[in-house]
Amino acid sequence: MINTTGMIYGYKVDPILVPVGNITANGGSMNNKGIELTLGATPVKTGNFSWTTSINLAHNANKITSLTNPLFIGGDSVRITQPEGGGQTGSSLQILKAGMPLGQFFTLEYAGKNENGVSQYLDRNGKLTTTPAIGVDYKYMGDPQPKLLLGWTNTFRLGNFDMNVFIRGVFGNKIFNATRADLFRPSTAQYSNILTEVADESVKDVNAYKYSSRFIEDGSYVRLDNATLGYTFKKFNQYVKTLRVYASVNNAFIITGYKGIDPEVNQGGIAPGVDSNNFYPKTRTILFGVNLSF
């Protein structure tokens, strides 16, 4: 368990003391606790074939424990992350609050469409509304922090052939797909890009693109991070002892239910887990190579 104190944060201050009304100072605290497990084995080992495997599992629980400073009083909570989507003035996606995970999603709770085909939401009293109050009707809507991280390495050897496969997985985290929300505008199809699925939306739905739990998705995925296949020629000639040729692929494929380009969005800083059209997706690369030993 790790307790971090004296974190740098922007505090509100009496304008008499600081004319601008705020100051950046050390304060606030956060707690991280987790567990990591590594297991390794050689399930198969015969005369000319072997399989060695290693799996790493990690879990971390994060919680803000304070947003105050002995000299300055911070707010009980602070809404953060304001993507630049049109029509989203005043909207935010996440909140910093004592007792909650870092970057907790805090937004409107989507409740389907009304009889007129307009998106509706649950207000602070649990009643349906098509005109929710920004900030006031917001609810805690999920944690961007993964519940489990997985890394799995497998090495196979058969005669002069060798193969290494590394699989990586992330499970239990949420992603706010702000990119999808910003393209969810059925009324703008005649002059701007929209998603294919938006063609089935009613042009009367003026709330279709509004940031809400409708655009919070499961960010879990399994990715074949790397696979390498090689063949070694032993005692190649009088000058070369061994020659190994190999082919390697990075980011071969990914299994996920996430609707965005790539679920591996930014997980750092105070605002993790937001896909706001602000990153370039991972590329797939194929490499061929030769290793020589003299």
What is the domain partition of the chain in residue ranges?
A: 2-293
Strand pairing category for 174-177 and 274-275: parallel
**Separation between Cα atoms, residue 68 and residue 43, nearest integer Å:** 53
- Reported as a pLDDT band with limits 50, 70 and 90, residue 71 is low
Question: Token digits for 255?
Answer: 């299994």
Q: Stretch 161-166: mean pLDDT, rounded?
A: 97
**Separation between Cα atoms, residue 235 and residue 241, nearest integer Å:** 5
- Reported as a pLDDT band with limits 50, 70 and 90, residue 73 is low
CB neighbour list of residue 268: distance below 8 Å, 6 or more residues apart: none
**Separation between Cα atoms, residue 125 and residue 212, nearest integer Å:** 17
Average predicted confidence (pLDDT) for the chain: 89
Q: What DSSP assignment string belongs to 228-270?
A: EEEEEEET-SSS-SEEEEEEEEEEEEEEE---SS-S-----TT
Report the pLDDT value the prediction gives residue 12, as an integer from 0 to 100. 74
Residue 284 or 7, more confident:
284
| CA 136 to the chain's CA centroid | 26
Hey, which residues does 99 pair with through a beta bridge? none
Strand pairing category for 104-107 and 109-113: unpaired
Residue 231 or 9, more confident:
231
Rank 41-45, 98-102, 184-188 by mean pLDDT and report only the highest.
41-45
Q: Stretch 156-165: mean pLDDT, rounded?
A: 95
Run of H or E including 180: helix 178-182
Note the pTM of the prediction, 2 decimals.
0.87
For 130, 160, 193, 206, 252, the CA distances from 188, given in Å and listed in that order, are 20, 60, 8, 11, 36
Are the C-beta atoms of 274 and 176 separated by less than 8 Å?
A: yes
Report the pLDDT value the prediction gives residue 10, as an integer from 0 to 100. 76
Q: Stretch 110-114: mean pLDDT, rounded?
A: 94
Helix (H, G, I), strand (E, B) or coil at 110: strand
Question: Token digits for 232?
Answer: 């070694």
Q: Stretch 80-91: mean pLDDT, rounded?
A: 84
Question: Token digits for 247?
Answer: 């082919």
- Phi, psi (degrees; rounded to nearest 5) at 199: -60, -20
User: What does the pLDDT look like over 206-259, one tens digit per residue?
Assistant: 899 999 999 999 999 999 999 999 999 887 677 778 889 999 999 999 999 999
Report the pLDDT value the prediction gives residue 167, as an integer from 0 to 100. 98
Report the pLDDT value the prediction gives residue 74, as an integer from 0 to 100. 56
Per-residue 3-state assignment (H helix, E strand, C coil) for 221-235: EEEEEEEEEEEEEEC
Residue with tokens 């947003």: 67
Report the pLDDT value the prediction gives residue 43, as an integer from 0 to 100. 94
Run of H or E including 77: strand 77-80
- Reported as a pLDDT band with limits 50, 70 and 90, residue 176 is very high
Hey, which residues does 213 pair with through a beta bridge? none
Question: Token digits for 137?
Answer: 């009707």
User: What does the pLDDT look like over 273-290, one tens digit per residue?
Assistant: 999 877 778 899 999 999
- Reported as a pLDDT band with limits 50, 70 and 90, residue 75 is low
Residue 102 or 241, more confident:
102
